[in-house]
Amino acid sequence: LGMGRLGSSFTASAVECGKLKVNVVDTATRVDEGIKRVEDLLKGRGTNGKNLRKISFVEDAKALAENSDFVIDALEPELGKLASLRVLGHYARPEVPVVVACMGDLSVTRLASNSGITDRILGLHFFREPH
């Protein structure tokens, strides 16, 4: 979910490996900015971006949750994302793990404890983008 700094870093890594299909939910403006970041990251790694077609964009977090085998919710520090975690908890299949990745001072523990899916959340906290 999302094409901010963290989301675009994860997307670039998934695209680079070439074996994953990446579905993204975000606003059109942030998607455009995120695709530019993904292209820049791949170019910096010497990858030609041929796998960019593996990225698809959906407008509905519910549809994404229902059709995913693995979910990474990349949280930007300035965004309150408890609502997206509740959507994931309600619509994702029970066996689907949810990785909550964040930067800054967001508390993954606090978000997870109020999400309704605490037993399925793996929290990752970064001080810089993981690329």
Q: Residue 93 sits in a domain of what CATH number?
A: 3.40.50.720
Stated pTM of the model: 0.73
**What confidence score (pLDDT) does residue 127 get?**
67
User: Is residue 131, in this structure, part of any structural domain at all?
Assistant: no
The pLDDT tens digits of the residues spanning 34-90 come to 888 888 888 887 776 677 777 887 777 788 778 888 887 776 655 556 667 777 777
Domain count along the chain: 1
Please, which residues have CB within 8 angstroms of residue 125's CB and are 6 or more apart in sequence? 101, 102, 103, 108
Using the Cα atoms of residue 62, residue 64, residue 70 and residue 76 in order, give the sign of their dihedral: negative
From the centroid of its chain, how far is CA 69?
13
**What confidence score (pLDDT) does residue 81 get?**
61
User: Is residue 105, in this structure, part of any structural domain at all?
Assistant: yes
Q: How far, in Å, CA of 26 to CA of 7, rounded?
A: 10
**What confidence score (pLDDT) does residue 117 get?**
80
Please state the rounded mean pLDDT for residues 6-27: 79
Q: How far, in Å, CA of 88 to CA of 75, rounded?
A: 14
Show the domain range for 47.
Answer: 5-126
Please state the rounded mean pLDDT for residues 28-37: 84
Mean pLDDT for all residues in the chain: 77
Residue whose C-alpha is closest to residue 100's, from 124, 64, 78, 131? 124
User: Is residue 14, in this structure, part of any structural domain at all?
Assistant: yes
